[in-house]
Structures are given as structure tokens and as C-alpha cells.
Amino acid sequence: MTRYGSRIMTACCEVYGITRKQFKARRKYQHWCECRWMCWMILYRKGHGTLKSLGAEFGGWHYGTINHGIRRVEELIQINKRVRRKFEEVKHLMKGDV
């Protein structure tokens, strides 16, 4: 995992209140999924890998799952204040490097 990817994952986990182990788990709790989606979206937007490479880097996820997660969290940021606030918190933790 890249250094930037590790920083993003740590920031997302801190904002969502989950551990790195929970982040990589295959469980489908809503806040765990949102945390993964947020991390994937930020990394993909910043050009830190393809869908396939992000899937491999974060636990062997299929590229279709990564794509779905990115699209889903982008939609949620637009319509859900709580998710938008979480995104802003991650940006703040990364000091605007998102």
C-alpha cells in the first residue's frame, strides 16, 4: 500500500470510528462500507490507481465492487448531510490534501 493510501485509510477509519482490521473485513455493516467507499473514492479521484489495483491493494475486492462503492459514496455526498460531513472531516484530517 502506498504511503498516501495508508494515510487516507487511517483518516477514514478515524472519522468512521473503525479499525484498519474492520476496514479490510468483508462484513457489510453500513458504516464500514461507507468508510471503504470514501477511501476508494478519494484515492481513485487523486489518480492513485485503477479500480483493479485499488481492489487488490485493499483486500482483493473485485473492480466492479470498487466502482459501485465510488459511485455510491459520490451520490451519498450529494444527498446525505451526514456523509458529506464525514467527507469534510476526512479532508480536514488530510489538511486539504484530498
pLDDT at residue 98 is higher than 80? no
pLDDT tier at 2, thresholds 50, 70, 90: confident
pLDDT digits (tens, 9 = 90+) for 39-97: 999 999 999 889 999 999 888 999 999 999 999 999 999 999 999 999 999 999 988 66
Identify the structural domains of the chain with CATH numbers, from first to last.
3-93 (1.10.1750.10)
For the stretch 14-49, what's the b/e string if a residue is b when 16 or more beta carbons lie within 10 angstroms of its beta carbon? ebbebeeebbeeeeeeeebbbbbbbbbbbbbeeebb
- The pLDDT confidence band at residue 9, using thresholds 50, 70 and 90, is very high
Cell digits of residue 33: 462500507
